[in-house]
Amino acid sequence: MAQMPMAHVSRRTALMVVAGAGTALAGRRARAEDASGRAIYPVAIPIYQTQFIADRIGYFKEAGLDCKLIQGGSGVKTREIIASSQGDVGIGDITHPMQLSNHGRAGRVLMPVDTRSSAVMFIIRKDLKDQGINTLEGFTQWKRPDGRKPIVSVSSLGGTNHVWASYYMETMGLDDKVTWIGTGNVDTMLGSLKSKQVDILVSSLSLLNESREQGWGELLFDGTDEAIWNKYIGGKVPVTAHFTLQSTIDKDPAKMQAFVTALWRAAQWIKAHKPEEIYDAIEPYVGSTSRTANLLEITSLQKVADYEGTIEAADFTRGEKVWFREMTGIKPLAIADVVSPSFIAAARKAYPD
């Protein structure tokens, strides 16, 4: 089929394509009104690998996008960049688009990337573990030298680590026995543990391995373990997702389709390749931690990855007890108020898994 000049594709036409089958649009170049794009990721760890792969393998380019990846520095900062329309698509905890909606910005989930969190490992200072602290309960009974509560570090307050770690602690009746702080990106998170400014770092397997190799930390509680997750959470939940604003969709739906198509293709590429191949592709984005640490995390991500790209009503309902509580401050939302499924549906038709 011959391509129509860009000027001949109206916004109404693009909307009709997205709302309908959308397959043709997903399967060829975007024909977006603006081919430039900005994809935002929080920090340099493999959990955000779909963006990295879409860039490195060339799926953004093949979708007609001149896309630049930007590190936000944390989940909350990523959300702020999307909220200000300085980025087209962000990736982070699913509560970020919910927070946007609660504040009048109409956030929309485009595509989930996992079925449980891979970044809620409680990494305790090695010297504290050596003192015999081997449970979260025991940790909360310990006091810092100045008598203050122990300090738990997450990338950002309100980000993935904080949302899920605080739910575990809240369920155990321990959340008010610690002080939570945000310490930013990989380097500053590890630095805060090394310097003993914090007592526990909640993060992913790559940072656990790095802290172990350096002699700074050890695992205290693994909130990513399937048995522990099922005990406290109850099953599959979309934790991390690609998201945007409804206003960004409305501005150029063809461009948003191009993004989602590229990201969907990236997820399928990841599904079909070995951890070593994935690491070799994304290494420029995750170089702050060792190859060994990243390979361990990439392997663990395969156990929690969502290769379907869709969110079932039961999975959304299962997550409500975590998302809609006093700690997050998020007022309850229905799945239809948060999730925009038409783009991933079109991408799946164009590129079946």
Q: Is the separation of the CB atoms in 282 and 46 below 8 Å?
A: yes
Contact 321, 232 (CB under 8 A): no
Average pLDDT over residues 104-119: 95
**Helix or strand holding residue 4 (H, E):** none
- Asked if 343 and 264 touch (Cβ cutoff 8 Å), the reply is no
Q: pLDDT value at position 117? A: 93
Cα atoms in the Cβ-side hemisphere of radius 13 Å centred on 23:
6
* pTM of the entire predicted model: 0.84
- Per-residue confidence (pLDDT) for residue 26, from 0 to 100: 54
The reported pLDDT for the residue numbered 158 is 86
Helix, strand, coil: what percent of the chain each, to 5?
Answer: 50, 15, 35
Question: Are the C-beta atoms of 199 and 125 separated by less than 8 Å?
Answer: yes
Q: What is the mean pLDDT of residues 233-239?
A: 96
Q: What is the pLDDT of residues 261-284, one digit of tens each?
A: 999 999 999 999 999 999 999 999
Q: Is the pLDDT score of 160 beyond 90?
A: no
Whether pLDDT at 99 is above 80: yes
Domain boundaries, the chain: 6-115+236-350, 121-232
CATH assignment, 6-115+236-350: 3.40.190.10
Q: Is the pLDDT of residue 86 over 60?
A: yes
| 249 vs 251: CA distance, rounded Å | 5
Q: What is the pLDDT of residue 33?
A: 62
Please list the alpha-helical segments (H only) found in the chain. 11-19, 23-27, 49-56, 59-62, 75-83, 95-102, 126-130, 136-141, 160-171, 186-194, 205-214, 226-232, 246-251, 253-272, 275-282, 291-304, 313-323, 335-338, 342-350
Confidence of residue 11 (pLDDT cuts 50, 70, 90): very low
CA distance 157 to 175: 14
Degrees (nearest 5) of the Cα angle 202, 208, 209?
A: 170
Q: If phi over 0 gives left and psi between -120 and 50 gives alpha, with beta otherwise, what is residue 16? A: alpha
Q: Rounded CA gap, 44 and 27, in Å?
A: 30
- What is the three-class DSSP state of 331? coil
- pLDDT bin (cut points 50, 70, 90) of residue 32 is low
Q: What confidence tens digit (pLDDT) does each residue in 308-340 have?
A: 999 999 999 999 999 999 999 999 999 999 999
Do 6-115+236-350 and 121-232 come out as alike in CATH topology? Answer: yes
Say whether pLDDT at 12 is over 80. no
Largest CA distance in the chain: 73
pLDDT class of 185 with cuts at 50, 70, 90:
confident
Task: Determine contact, residues 49/248, Cβ cutoff 8 Å.
Answer: no
- What is the fold, at CATH topology level, of the domain defined by 121-232? D-Maltodextrin-Binding Protein; domain 2 (3.40.190)
Per-residue confidence (pLDDT) for residue 19, from 0 to 100: 38
What's the one-letter identity of residue 238? Answer: P
